[in-house]
Chains A and B, each alone.
Chain A
Amino acid sequence: MSGVGPVEPGEGTRASDTPGPDSASGGDPRLRPREALLSGLVSRYERHRRAALAATAAALLLAGGGYLYATRPHQLPPPAPEPAPPPPYPSQVVDVAYLEPAPAPRDAAPRSFGLTVLVSVSAGPPVTVTRISQPYAGLALTPEPLPPLRIAAGTARKIVITMRVTECGKVPESAGLPFLDVTLRNTRAIEVHSYILGSRYAHALSDGLHVACGNDFR
């Protein structure tokens, strides 16, 4: 060792170990028992210094450990199960697609023609189609089968739309993006949603109207 560090005093070399002037002179007799007690404790500590240090360290460790244990992050109670998400709005899970022209029913009125559409439901509770309509004046619509039609998720229903021209002067000769209004209902909501069926449907509708009306457009 290089001698670095404090030199430990030997027993009896400390100021506190040396009898003070009071004790030498006898001093106040009332202090003697306390001094004697203190002196006894100190000498006992000196005799059991290592044990005392170890005990203190152990106590501090216990106290520290206890503190850490007491202040540990408490296990959170298991989170309450998430409430089931509400069913989707029907328009978000229903698809309506135009398939092909269809022959008009035998008992259909004059100036009638048919168009087949496919209504499918992708997810959620069953959806009921309660109404199908179209917005043009001069044109009436009858779906077959008749609503209400209940369609389960993952399934589809073909519906034949029979269009009947009631007044040629009021129908659009060649609408670019005609649509069907479909009323949908599920356990979440009732919605009227427009389905814009694209250019094939637009052409089929226009062809049907031309056949029905010839040159009687406005």
Chain B
Amino acid sequence: MRQRSLIAITAALAAGALTLTACGSRGGDKGSDSGKGGTTVTIGVDAPLTGDLSALGLGIKNSADLAAKTANKKNYVKGVTFKIEARDDQAQPSAGQQNATALVADKNVLGVVGPLNSSVAESMQKVFDDAKLVEVSPANTGPSLTQGPDWRTKKVRTYKSYFRTATTDAIQGPFAAQYLYNDAKKKKVFVIDDKKTYGAGLAGTFTDEFKKLGGQIVGTEHINPDAKDFSAIATEVKKSGADVVYYGGEYPQAGPLSKQIKAAGSKIPLVGGDGIYDPTFIKLAGADSTGDLATSVGAPVESLPSAKQFVADYKAAGYKDEYAAYGGYSYDSAWAIIEAVKKVVDDNGGKLPSDARAKVTAAMQNVSFDGVTGKVSFDEFGDATNKQLTVYAVKNGAWAAEKSGTYTG
């Protein structure tokens, strides 16, 4: 029995030692403590997560998720843990509106990142505004969303809960026109659009400026967004004698359109906006897309040190999909919501007030921080104050930056 006493003591000591060892190894992982908050705040995400535009939508979702995880890791808002609730709008306004209603019904949602499409945004704005739920789009470029339907003559903000980090087509279209007319020396353009809010709007602002500069519109056409056969339009383009095609729309149609125009014998570039600035466009358009152009919002990633950090963090996080054209803007949109929540919590003694949604929406107007895409803040219409644009060209099977501009007006 004395041996049993020895065994018991030995076992107790061994157990103690193992326990202490285990504690020691856990203590080295300081990150495990982060994110323990008393309150969970949900950031809604609405984007096309399936369908033709999912490459852009998944980049939006993942980038917003990265912002939430970064805030949790840093314990950026004390007592608050952020999580993402992502909903698929399939680029359809009706689905977007349903998602908006569902997000409004979830009381933990204090802000929404999205959507991708301006037409979808139109269907969501009122739902969010009625609930005083702030919405920050990383990708909508339609001017009327912030400046009202008569933005050309009189700018009026319709929804105080709507903000965006991307710049507008009121700048993007003219920027493309200036580049094509002055730098690329194109004088005769054939303009095509997909009749949607974004595509038709962009084609409109481009056309106005191209004409003002002295350029000639040698033809216009509208396509069905579901179409894939553009051979009739390609023939028309060839007959028109255009030296460039401008397309207002998105890459699922722009890629085949470019391919079929070249196949019909017109070796002229197709030019579009941020909606075609995606590697998928090049895949769809094929080898003859070399020389095609796209304008996109923001400066090239390689010229922004903050964006390099984002790219590294995105890679380290192990997302399957690319962050795509709007990754940086999506991260900044989510981070703007996080900043607004932080302001509201700090002003309320470290807790969320009962009217948190209205207060977060009000706080968003004064948010200002150095984001992935540069300084992030909003003007009186909810538009980004940082208005940079870049022209990209297809070179060696990839998009390469040609020229960047900043709107300072």
Q: Is the CB of A91 within 8 A of B404?
A: yes
B24 within 8 A of A: yes
A96–B178 CA distance with the chains assembled, in angstroms? 18
User: Is A196 within 8 A of B183, CB to CB?
Assistant: no
B9 within 8 A of partner (CB)? yes
Within the complex, what minimum Cβ distance (angstroms) separates B328 from chain A?
14
For A96, A174, A177, A200, the residue with the greatest tally of chain B CB atoms inside 10 Å of its CB is A177
In chain A, positions 1-58 with a C-beta closer than 8 Å to chain B are: 6, 8-9, 49, 53, 56-57
A63-81 interface bits toward B, Cβ cutoff 8 Å, 1 = contact, 0 = none: 0100110011100000000
Q: Is A98 an interface residue (CB 8 A)?
A: yes
Contacts of B13 in A (CB 8 A): 57, 60-61, 64
Given contacts A56-B9, A177-B171, contact A194 B28 (CB under 8 A): no
Contact A67 B17 (CB under 8 A): yes
CB distance from B154 to the nearest CB of A (A): 13
Residues from 378 to 409 in B contacting A, C-beta threshold 8 Å: 387, 403-409
Q: Which residues on the A side are within 8 Å of B25 (C-beta)?
A: 73
Q: A92-B299, A194-B406, A196-B171 are in contact. Are A173 and B212 (CB under 8 A)?
A: yes
Question: A133 to nearest B CB, angstroms?
Answer: 11
Binary A-proximity of B276-314 (CB < 8 A = 1, otherwise 0): 000000000000000000000001000111000000000
Inter-chain CA distance A56–B404, complex, in Å, is 77
Q: Is B346 on the interface with A (CB-CB < 8 A)? A: no
> Does B6 lie at the interface of the complex (its beta carbon under 8 Å from any beta carbon of A)?
yes
- One of A56, A64, A174, A201 near B16 (C-beta < 8 A): A64
| Chain A CB within 8 A of B10 CB | yes
CB-CB contacts of B25-47 with A at 8 A, as 1s and 0s? 10110000000000000000000
Q: Chain B contact residues (Cβ within 8 angstroms of A): what range? A: 35 or more
Report whether B175 and A196 are in contact in the complex, using a CB–CB cutoff of 8 Å.
Answer: yes
A193 touches B175 (CB 8 A): no
Q: B320 contacts the other chain (Cβ, under 8 Å)?
A: no
Which chain B residue lies CB-closest to A171?
B214
Partner of B303 from the list A49, A72, A89, A194 (CB cut-off 8 Å) is A89
B5 at the interface (CB under 8 A from A): yes
User: Residue A218 at the B interface, CB < 8 A?
Assistant: yes
A174 to B408, CA, bound (A): 18
Q: Are A200 and B409 closer than 8 Å at their CB atoms?
A: yes
Task: Give chain A nearest CB distance to B175 CB in angstroms.
Answer: 7
B101 within 8 A of A: no
**What distance in Å separates the Cβ of B74 from its nearest Cβ neighbour in chain A?**
17
5 contacts between A and B (CB under 8 A): A73-B28, A85-B305, A89-B304, A91-B299, A91-B406
A-side residues, CB < 8 A to B, are 6, 8-9, 49, 53, 56-57, 60-61, 64, 67-68, 71-73, 85-86, 88-89, 91-92, 95-98, 135-136, 170, 172-179, 191-202, 218
Residues in chain B within 8 A of chain A (CB atoms): 1-2, 4-6, 9-10, 13-14, 16-17, 20-21, 24-25, 27-28, 171, 174-175, 178, 182-183, 208-209, 212-214, 299, 303-305, 374, 387, 403-409
Beyond known contacts A92-B304, A172-B214: 19 more, CB 8 A cutoff: A8-B2, A57-B13, A64-B17, A67-B17, A68-B24, A72-B24, A89-B303, A92-B374, A97-B408, A135-B178, A170-B214, A176-B208, A177-B178, A191-B404, A192-B403, A196-B175, A196-B387, A198-B408, A198-B409
